[in-house]
Amino acid sequence: MASFLRYWLRWPSLEIIMAVPWAWPLAETFHFIGLCLLVGIVGMFDLRVLGIAKDLPLASLKRLLPWGVFGFVLCLVTGLLFVLGIGANLYNDNAYDVIARDPYLQLKLLFIVFAGLNLLAFYLTGMARRVDTLGKGDDAPLLAKVIAASSLFFWMGVIVFGRLIPEGL
Amino acid sequence: MEFLTWLEHSGFAMTIKGSTVLYELPLVFHAIGMAILVGFSTAVYLRILGVASSVPLAPLERFFPVMYAGFWINAASGVLLFSLYPIKAVTNPVFFIKMGGVVLAVVCLRRIKHQVFGNRAIHDTRVVAPADKVLAGTALFVWLATITAGRLMAYHGIAGVEWSAAFAVSVVAVTLVLAGFAAARILGGSSPSPLDVHDLPVTER
C-alpha cells in the first residue's frame, strides 16, 4: 500500500517546474493571495450569517463567493506543487513520506475536510436555501449560525496548521 | 544600528527565538491578520469594481472594524517579528518595499472609507464613481505587491529570486484579475465592466 501510494504520489513530475529558482516563492505568494481571497470572502459571508452587517441581503452577498472558490483553487494548485513530486518539496522527499510524517500537514488536511463536510451540511440541512431568503435586517436561523461559526473555526485552523507545517517536516 | 544589534541579542528576542511555540505564535497571527485585513478589504474592492454589483455598498461599512482588527493583529505581530531579526530586516530592500506597500494600502483603505462610504448618497443610489474604481483597483494591486514583497523577504540573499519572482507575480496577478473579470462577464454578466461609469440603482435592474 505504502509503495503504491509512494508511486502514485510521485507521478506528477513537478520537479522540473519547482526546480526553477523563483518557482517556490512564486507558488507561496499565490498560496497567500488565494488564502486571503478564500478566508476573506467566506469569512465575510459567515460573519453576515452570524449577524454582523445584517443590512446585507445574503442572496446578493452570495455572488461574491465565486471569488472565494477561486482563492481555494489557487491554494489547491499551489499546495499540490509544494507537496507532490520528488524534489518538489523542500527536503527532496516523497509526498507520501511528507504526509505520513508531518502532524501539522495532517491536521491541516483534516481541517480542510472538516470545512468541506461543514459546507456539505450547510446544503444538506437546507440552511443554504433558508439563508438565501434572508433580506435586509433578517436574522439567520441558529443552525446556520452554528455552521457559519464552524466554518470560521475550521478555516482559521487551516491557516494555523498550514503556518506550522515547516515545524513538522 | 547599535540599538538594533542590541535588540536582536536582547534577552527578550533570544527567549522567543529559543522557543518554537513563542516563535511560531506571531507568525501564525501574522497570517491570520493578513487574511482578515487583505481578504475583507479585497471583497469590498471587488464590489466597488463591479463584482456582485447587487450587493448594497453601505452595509459593507460594518466590516471596516473587522479589517482594522486584522491590521492591529498584524501591526503587533509584525513589530514583534521585526524585533527578533531587526538587522536582517533593515539590510533587506524588500522589507522597505513591503513597509511602503503597507502604508500605501492603509492610505487607500482610509480614502475608500471616506470617499465611498463617507458619501451618504450611496445609501439610496449606490453610485460608484470612476475615481472610486481607480482607487479600488490601485488598492488591490498594492495588496498583491505587498504580499509578494512580504513573502520574498524570506528569500533575501538568494540571487535572482526576489526580482524575477516579483515580476512574475505582478504579470500573473494582473492577468488573473483581468481573466476574472472576463470570466464573470462571459458567465453571468452580473458584473458590469470595471470601466462602467455608474452602477445602476437596484430599481432599474
Residues of B in contact with A156 (CB under 8 A): 32
Contact at CB, A55 and B42, closer than 8 angstroms: no
Task: Name the closest residue on chain B to residue A19, using Cα atoms.
Answer: B161
SS3 breakdown of chain A: % helix, strand, coil, rounded to 5? 75, 0, 25
Residue A10, helix vs strand vs coil: helix
What residues of A are in contact with residue B20 (Cβ under 8 Å)? 167
How far is residue B60 from each of residues A26, B47, B68, measured CA to CA in Å? 32, 10, 14
**To the nearest whole angstrom, how far is the Cα of B203 from the nearest Cα of chain A?**
14
> Cβ contacts (< 8 Å) between B152 and chain A: which residues?
25, 29
Buried/exposed code over A58-84 (b: 16+ C-beta within 10 A; e: otherwise): bebbbbbebbbebbbebbeebbebbbb
Closest-approach residue (CA) in chain A for B143: A33
Q: Tell me how far apart the alpha carbons of residues B124 and A71 are, in angstroms, rounded to a whole number.
A: 32
User: Cell 452602477 belongs to which residue?
Assistant: B199
B27 touches chain A (CB under 8 A): yes
> Which pLDDT score is estimated for B189?
47
Summarised one tens digit per residue, pLDDT across range B157-169 is 776 676 777 777 7
- For the segment B82-106, the average pLDDT, to the nearest whole number, is 91
Nearest CA-CA partner of B88 in B174, B181, B186, B4: B4
Mutation to test the A interface, candidates B36, B55, B81, most A Cβ within 10 Å: B55
Asked whether the beta carbons of residue A36 and residue B46 sit closer than 8 angstroms, the reply is no
Contact between residue B169 and residue B67 where contact means Cβ atoms under 8 Å apart: no
Residues of B in contact with A159 (CB under 8 A): 28, 31-32, 35
Q: Which of A39, A52, A63 sits opposite B54 (nearest CB)?
A: A63
ipTM of the complex: 0.91
Within its chain, how far is the Cα of B137 from the centroid?
12
**Range B23-28, long-range pairs (CB < 8 A, 24+ positions):** B23/B84, B24/A163, B24/A164, B24/A167, B26/B77, B26/B78, B26/B80, B26/B81, B27/A163, B27/B77, B27/B81, B28/A159, B28/A160, B28/A163, B28/A164
Q: What percent of chain B has pLDDT over 70?
A: 81
B202 touches chain A (CB under 8 A): no
Q: Which of A141-145, B6-10, B36-40, B99-103 has the lowest mean pLDDT?
A: B6-10
At A119-168, the pLDDT tens digits run 999 999 999 999 999 988 899 999 999 999 999 999 999 999 999 998 88
Nearest beta carbon to residue B47 from set A39, A43, A64: A64
* H-only helix segments in chain B: 2-8, 11-18, 20-48, 64-84, 86-90, 93-115, 130-152, 161-187
Partner B contacted by A73 (CB < 8 A): no
pLDDT of B204 higher than 50: no
| Burial grade of B197 (CB within 10 A; 0-12, 13-18, 19 or more) | exposed
Residue A127's nearest CA partner among A112, A148, A111 is: A148
**Chain centre distance of CA A129:** 23
- The C-alpha of B70 sits at a distance from chain A's nearest C-alpha, in angstroms, of 11
Following CA atoms B21, B22, B27, B29 in sequence, which dihedral angle do they give, to the nearest 10 degrees? 100
Confidence (pLDDT) at B3: 87
Tell if the pTM clears 0.90, that is, is over it.
no
B 165-184 near A (Cβ less than 8 A) = 165, 168-169, 172-173, 180, 184
- What is the gyration radius of the CA atoms in chain A, in angstroms? 18
* Segment B142-168 mean pLDDT: 80
List the single residue in B with minimal CA-CA distance to A35.
B35
CB-CB contact of B4 with B90 (8 Å): yes
Residue numbers of B between 50 and 109 with CB closer than 8 Å to A: 51-52, 54-56, 58-63, 66
CA atoms within 13 A on the CB side of A88: 25
pLDDT value at residue B196: 41
CA distance B138 to B126: 21
Q: Of chain B residues 112-171, which have a CB less than 8 A from chain A?
A: 143-144, 147-148, 150-152, 154-155, 158, 160-162, 164-165, 168-169
- The three cell numbers locating residue A160: 494555523
At A10, the pLDDT band (50, 70, 90 cuts) reads: low
Q: Which three cell numbers stand for residue A95?
A: 509526498
